[in-house]
Amino acid sequence: GHARIGLIGLGTMGAALASNIAEKGFDVAVFNRTTQVTRDFAENAGDLAPKITPTETLDDFVAALSSPRAIILMVPAGDPVDAQIEALRPLLDDDDLIIDCGNANFHDTDRRVDAHTGPFLGVGVSGGEEGARHGPSIMAGGDTEYWGRVEDIMTAIAAKHDGDPCAALMGPGGAGHFVKMVHNGIEYADMQMIAEVYGILRDGHGMDYDAIGDIFAAWNKGPLESYLIEISGKVAHARDVATGKPLLSVIVDAAGQKGTGRWTVIEAQHRLAPVPAIEAAVVARNLSARLQERAKGQSIFGAAPQAWDGLDHTTLEQGLMAGKILCYAQGFEMLSAATRDFGWDLPMARIAQIWREGCIIRSSMLDEMATALDAAPGVNLMFTDHFAAILKDTHGALRQVVAQAALNGHPVPALSSGLAYFDMMRTARGTADMIQGQRDFFGLHGFVHVNGTDDQHGPWAKEACD
């Protein structure tokens, strides 16, 4: 065969990715479980048709590829990936490479690499359909040698930031899917913080949707410039197709989720990596789905959010900036924990760089984060010179937002947990002395004395021995 690369799974993401690959000049063979989908894809390929080889059996697909083969899977994560690998391997040579570009759980990717059934890469792809078609952010995991075989294709199809491709090898095994998972966790928290500020504007300030959209549009020209702020403004301005009403007013406030935020939070706990803003965002989505219970709560206690004189928009903007920085600091700290626990060497600054374009959390602040993490490797983002200076200027605003929101009944779980994280992380002597005293009292767990001796006990230990 002559095709440089193959792709299985012509769904939303796969079709877009295959078109992107063909557009960049690489011959690509494609296969889809449902043959009609392959035929439709080939028929609608237009100018790209000469670069695309549609196939209707796995044998023909494999035969269409040049050796050693490289095959992208873009099928639903989980069992379909294992089933597809099982179906493919007997048809392949030992050295042929399978690349899972779906949203796999990184534990599954580790397992697939460890199974040693053949060369394997686990690659996280972010940016939705639009990204896949015109330039996603690509986070790869696996052996350097296998990455080297497809790096030219991956960098060609990736988003570019001033010409720098948003594609890189994160580390061995599941490292790519791990980084993609944390990306999604950060995405949850970033979205939640924006939604919390939207709530203050809507219910506290009593603003209409267009005015809220205008504020987000204005913020998108300042330090908060990002894809998520941009689309939040567009969503606020949008009208319902059926009724002509403001779109947000007709959307049921129950958030969906596919589980990557939950994976992040569970894995963060295993790593002892605090990501409270991400946890709050996952909890908020879960609570949002409890529509009947919330209605019952309102009937018993009365509606929580009260209108109030409000905060000026600059305070809200700065509060959101501080919250965002703290959320990203937590995400990067989780990546550091993985580096420590898994013996990886996750390239922090490079990760910030490849998130600057293509992916859902792309923002101008990520460019500053890349610079800060590059200058101070291993340092918590909130302690880097640049972001410490911004936090010094903005944490007062975050405090005002959280305090006023609390006093007026506006739930702001992500922003307030970001603030609690900030305050704990700048308190040299906290309150865990009481926790240790309690633990020693009921379980004789011992404590470290401020004089440096460890395994000390309170007076109750002596009583127990007497």
Question: In angstroms, what is the minimal distance from the CB of 269 to ligand NDP?
Answer: 23
- Closest to ligand NDP by CB, 11 or 458: 11
Q: Which residue is nearest to ligand NDP (CB)?
A: 11
Does residue 209 have a known ligand-binding role?
no
DSSP tag of 65: B
Question: In angstroms, what is the minimal distance from the CB of 336 to ligand NDP?
Answer: 25
- Closest to ligand NDP by CB, 175 or 329: 175
Residues of this chain that interact with ligand NDP (CB under 6 A) are 9-14, 32-34, 37, 74-77, 80, 83-84, 102-103, 125, 128-129
Question: What is the rounded distance in angstroms from the CA atom of residue 363 to the CA atom of residue 368?
Answer: 9
Does residue 386 have a known ligand-binding role?
no
Does residue 9 have a known ligand-binding role?
yes
Which distant-in-sequence residues (6+ apart) come within 8 Å of 12 by Cβ?
129, 132
Does residue 10 have a known ligand-binding role?
yes
- Closest to ligand NDP by CB, 108 or 230: 108
Q: Reduced to 3 states, what is the DSSP secondary structure of residue 303? A: coil
Question: In angstroms, what is the minimal distance from the CB of 86 to ligand NDP?
Answer: 10
Which distant-in-sequence residues (6+ apart) come within 8 Å of 67 by Cβ?
93, 95, 96
Catalytic residue among 180, 267, 279, 324: 180
Question: In angstroms, what is the minimal distance from the CB of 183 to ligand NDP?
Answer: 10
- Closest to ligand NDP by CB, 83 or 432: 83
Q: Reduced to 3 states, what is the DSSP secondary structure of residue 445? A: coil
- Closest to ligand NDP by CB, 127 or 413: 127
Question: What Å distances lie between residue 115 and 57, 76, 118, 445, CA to CA?
Answer: 26, 20, 8, 41
Does residue 439 have a known ligand-binding role?
yes
Kindly tell me the burial class for residue 272, based on how many C-beta atoms sit within 10 Å of its own C-beta (0-12, 13-18, 19 or more): exposed
Q: Reduced to 3 states, what is the DSSP secondary structure of residue 252? A: coil
Catalytic residue among 51, 129, 160, 187: 187
Question: In angstroms, what is the minimal distance from the CB of 84 to ligand NDP?
Answer: 5
Question: What is the rounded distance in angstroms from the CA atom of residue 314 to the CA atom of residue 79?
Answer: 49
Backbone angles phi, psi at 323, to 5 degrees: -60, -45
Question: What is the rounded distance in angstroms from the CA atom of residue 226 to the CA atom of residue 57?
Answer: 43
Does residue 205 have a known ligand-binding role?
no
Question: In angstroms, what is the minimal distance from the CB of 408 to ligand NDP?
Answer: 36
Question: In angstroms, what is the minimal distance from the CB of 263 to ligand NDP?
Answer: 12
- Closest to ligand NDP by CB, 125 or 186: 125
- Closest to ligand NDP by CB, 186 or 197: 186
Q: How many other C-beta atoms can be found within 10 angstroms of the C-beta atom of residue 464?
A: 9
Question: What is the rounded distance in angstroms from the CA atom of residue 62 to the CA atom of residue 5?
Answer: 10
Does residue 256 have a known ligand-binding role?
no
Asked if 133 and 126 count as a contact pair (C-beta separation under 8 A), the reply is no
Does residue 44 have a known ligand-binding role?
no
Reported residue count of the chain is 466
Q: Which helix H or strand E contains 140, and what residues bound it? A: strand 137-141
Question: What is the rounded distance in angstroms from the CA atom of residue 366 to the CA atom of residue 362?
Answer: 7
Q: Is 187 a catalytic residue?
A: yes
CA 250 to chain centre: 27
- Closest to ligand NDP by CB, 17 or 372: 17
Which distant-in-sequence residues (6+ apart) come within 8 Å of 313 by Cβ?
215, 218
Question: In angstroms, what is the minimal distance from the CB of 102 to ligand NDP?
Answer: 3
Q: Reduced to 3 states, what is the DSSP secondary structure of residue 29? A: strand
Q: Which helix H or strand E contains 107, and what residues bound it? A: helix 106-114
Q: Is 230 a catalytic residue?
A: no
Strand partners, 97: 70
Asked if 108 and 336 count as a contact pair (C-beta separation under 8 A), the reply is no
Strand partners, 456: 447
Does residue 128 have a known ligand-binding role?
yes
Q: Among all chains, which residue has been given the structure tokens 């219970």?
A: 293
Annotated binding site for NADP(+): 9-14, 32-34, 75-77, 103
Instruction: Please give the annotated binding residues for substrate, written as ranges.
Output: 103, 126-128, 183-184, 188, 258, 285, 439, 445
What positions carry a catalytic annotation? Answer: 180, 187
Enumerate the known binding-site residues.
9-14, 32-34, 75-77, 103, 126-128, 183-184, 188, 258, 285, 439, 445
